[in-house]
Amino acid sequence: MGGFVIEIEDLNFSYDGRENIFKDLNFVLKKGERVGLTGPNGSGKTTLFYLIMGLLKPNSGTIKIFGKNRYREEDFREVRRRIGLLFQDSDDQLFCPTVEEDIAFGPLNLGKSSYEVEQIVQQICNVLDLTHLRQKVTYRLSGGEKRLVALATVLAMEPECLLLDEPTSGLDPNVRDKFINYLQKTADTYILISHDMELLKDLTDRVYILLEGKMQEVDPQRPPEMP
């Protein structure tokens, strides 16, 4: 294991002054760890990802990422280059006319040369078996194809850590297998949100449940009942 990627201490968060979603929440992710996160709908799983990425701001507590406390928008710009967030809805991630352009968008904005971008796009399309879709219009893809392309746009940024929000939800078996194969063979450090305990058992080192504002480690062999 390497150093700390994410360190969250005494995190509190609520929307518009309502009851806290998080109540002094603590969590640590180290380099090389694969962590599963489950919990009932509305428990704050996606919200936690948004706080880690600086898309929401906590009421109180500390978010330390790659060894630095993150408070302001400028603090999170580095985080968004180094951590890849896969949104639950693929349409939130895809906005270019074609698959190829969507995958190339991130590396181009990082200042990569045209040659480097082409190499990245080709490599990722090979890994995820997307070569036949490179010239396809994105909005005409199936839901499963969009999911894979969304993952490809994240991987194109060469992140050190992945935040995966229900990545296999609604996928047909073939696309699901491609997704799982990538995670098993290639991904190093990630947090995976899912209600599928079998999936979490296969793809993560440990699993937490988010419940009543707290995170508690659980045994995926004996999953807790959801309220």
Residue 79 tokens, joined = 């985080």
Please state, as a whole number, how many other Cβ atoms lie within 10 Å of the Cβ of residue 30: 14
Average pLDDT over residues 109-130: 92
Residue 144, pLDDT score: 86
Confidence band of 50 (pLDDT split at 50, 70, 90): very high
Rounded to the nearest integer, the mean pLDDT of the chain is 91
SS3 100: helix
Q: What is the pTM of this model?
A: 0.91
DSSP one-letter string for 101-159: HHHHHHHHHTT--HHHHHHHHHHHHHHTT-GGGTTSBGGGS-HHHHHHHHHHHHHTT--
pLDDT exceeds cutoff 90 at 15:
no
Quote the CA–CA distance of 109 and 107 in Å, as a whole number.
Answer: 5
- Residue owning tokens 């998080």: 22
Q: Sorting pLDDT into bands at 50, 70 and 90, what band is 16?
A: confident
Decide which of 2 and 222 is more confident.
222
pLDDT bucket at 179, cuts 50 / 70 / 90: confident
CA distance 75 to 54: 8
pLDDT > 70? residue 223: no
- Please, which residues bridge with residue 4 across strands? 30
Decide if 24 contacts 10 (C-beta within 8 A). yes
C-alpha dihedral (155, 160, 165, 169), degrees to nearest 10: 50
Q: In what order do the strands lie in the sheet with 4-13?
A: 22-30, 4-13, 60-65, 68-69
pLDDT of residue 13: 94
| 11-25, 83-97, 199-213: least confident range | 11-25
